[in-house]
Structure 1
Amino acid sequence: MISEFRSRFRARFRFRHLWLGVIGVSLVVLVVLEGLNAPLPPMAAATMVSGLLCLAAFAVPERLFTRYAIGAAAVSCVLTVVEAQLSQRPPNTPGLVELGVLLLLITRAARRCRPLRAAGPAAGSALAAVVLPLRIDAWDNNLLNLIAVIAVCAVPFMVMVGLCLRLYDTLREREREAIRQGQRLEHARELHDFVAHHVTAIVAQTKAARFTAAAGHPQSPEDLDRMLAQIERAGSQALGSMRAMVSSLRDHTTAATTRPTGDPAGLCGLRDLTEEFSEVGPPAELTLAPELADRPLPPGIITTVHRVVQESLTNVRKHATGVGRVEVRIGVRSDDPERLEVSVVDDGQGGASTAAERSVEGGGYGLVGLAERVEKVNGRITAGPRDGGGWHVVAVLPMGKADKANTVDSADVATLGEAAPKVTSSG
């Protein structure tokens, strides 16, 4: 796949350069023919040199454009002033190719250069284009009309074209940056949701083993084997998640399919998640509304439900103290049958101050990423301490096809980049 892409890219690259070469050679030939139209050989040579300098100024890299454009415009103006003093001048064409290139130099300066740097090459090229018709032999009203048209219409039009192209380039770059920012946010959420979850399980199990050993309670070989097996399983799951992320980053053509998603078993797969949590932590009880068993839900909603439960259980494992029981409830809201409510509640110790410390310890990235996921499917989430102690997380999600498009809108991503979504606190 990669070799095929490279071969196609090289073929297009060669085709583009072939066309540019043909166009360049054609323009050079036209400049030479216009130079031969001059009555005197020195005048013909000077006309060719001036036209070729203008072509070179248009083709040079960005770092050389300003000096080349100013130099070409200066040579063109000098040649026009000298020819205007001569008695013998070209009878019909003053150098139309050179005139067109000078106008294009104005457009390139307005598009590519900063305002102050664009003033020199744009003004010089405009002056050279306006006076260039004075090279022609017949000075009459038609010549004056041509000069007026160039000064009043052509030059402002080329400036506007350059500014429009500059705006287009800016918008396109912002769109690219928005897409890159959206990809960074998505990868950050995936990294936190999967790897951090499994690593947290490893840390919690290791702390439990050290605490038991420090307390002087000997562990049987069976208990040690069971605990090490759980650590091994969590490590294998973390490696699998990392492998899936690396696969999606390396192969952009299959990113959508290799990216980790929700459990294929649907909401019923949450039972494995709660049972795994209960093995090394307080018991977690899952209550799934019967009406959801046979109701199909959009994949994005199922994935979001998994992330809400997973992140909430991870936070309980990392930050909660004195938790005796965790309740996970998935059901339909009584006031809105088209809304799904996900609730994760623990009975940890401490009031609002302890809950605030618990929130600060987490660094905020988990809840921020969770809020982004919920908002992406037009849902809302609330997290905060409970009155009787403990912590609760409640997410309300649409049960219909409310998933937003996978492509990231530039305005949305720009907003996410400036300020991440906030989780509503009900404490």
Structure 2
Amino acid sequence: MSSRKTTKMSEELSDVETLDAVVAFIDDFYEADAPLIEGFSSSSEDAVPNATSSSGGDADASSEATASPPQTTTTRRRPAKAPKRQNHNRARDQRKEELSLLRQEEEALRVRLLQLVMAKATGEFERQRSVEETDTRPEALRQEMLAVWKDMAMRQYGRRKTAETENTRLRDQVQSQRKVIQSLQSILVRHEKPQLAPTPNWLAYTAGSDSVHRTRVFVELLTDLKQAHSVTNAWLDSSRANPLTGGKFDDTRVATLSPTQHALEMIYARLLPIDFRTAADTYWHTGINEHCQMFDIYREHAKVEGRDTVLYSQIVHDGDKSTVRLHTHVSVQKFEEENRIILLIAARPEAIHIDGERVTDVTMTEQYWVVFQAPEGKPQNACLMLSFGRANFKLDAAVASATHAVSTLSTHVHERISGHLNSAVECMEDRILSK
């Protein structure tokens, strides 16, 4: 009887000790820092079986202690298995829920990212296809544009190689002559004397010119420009049948109107990879105002009837050994329209010299049209430059000398105009490539 009571009391004491240990464990668990909580959470599953085995061991030890005589030894209190409570792993459950939510959110974000990547790729494809579908240029024009870019690249490559070769030659020449120049510099400075500049030959040509005469000629040329503008559409209609080859077309012909009248007609067409307004502005600033100024003896900018106008006089020649020299007056005017820009040029030589001799039995007039417009299909990155030229020669008599003069002048005009247009096109190409 006494043994049973002792056993029962031992069991109750063991339960009380176990409960106290569990309460102390839970208090320590929630009072610990965040990093420690995670460690306790991971090791809690291992602690429970150990507590169970310890509890079982203590129960056996208690029963053995009742059977043996009581001893006065001090034993260390061990935590025993606590009764299960509903929220004893609440922090761990919360972390599991957060981890589950984060995994779900990660999966949703991955799906969203994949959708965005596919949408971007699809959008770029659709945009490219839309651009190709909205490109209304005919296939022939596309091929011409490819040929234009190819020719431009070849010309730029050729110019670059030529420039590099010339730079190399000049560099070698400078290096070889530098020492000689340095040794002779002091001698040249001591013996240098001021020399009067030679009188240019064209002063004799312009001696009879005065401002009144020049103004009268300019007024007459402006009247000629109005008449030329009225026949622009006729020139354009006559050029529609001319096919472009490699983005260009050139044609020159000499017409005999009468035994004493001859005409030189020139047609040039260039396809440019630039919009027509930019091309016209480039030609106006470089071809009209910069490239031609080297020959000027007089130039004036004005507004005539609201249009940009340039009036200038110049000596036109091909160099010191040129066969032909012309003292000419020129009027240039810009006509800006909605779908095109027209530059009209009228010129009238006042004096003609061939091989140093003045030609008095031949008079000459020149008219040029330079039209910038978009080709068919109205692409935004292409321009068709059409240039028409007409030089009229009037002879006082159908003599051999006059006929020879007409032939020489025709060759000079053709070479001068074609060279001028090619230089203007190169300037526009340089502007395109400099962007």
Higher strand residue share: 2
Would you call these one fold, judging by a TM-score over 0.5? no
Q: TM-score, normalised by structure 2?
A: 0.22
Higher helix residue share: 1
Q: TM-score, normalised by structure 1?
A: 0.22
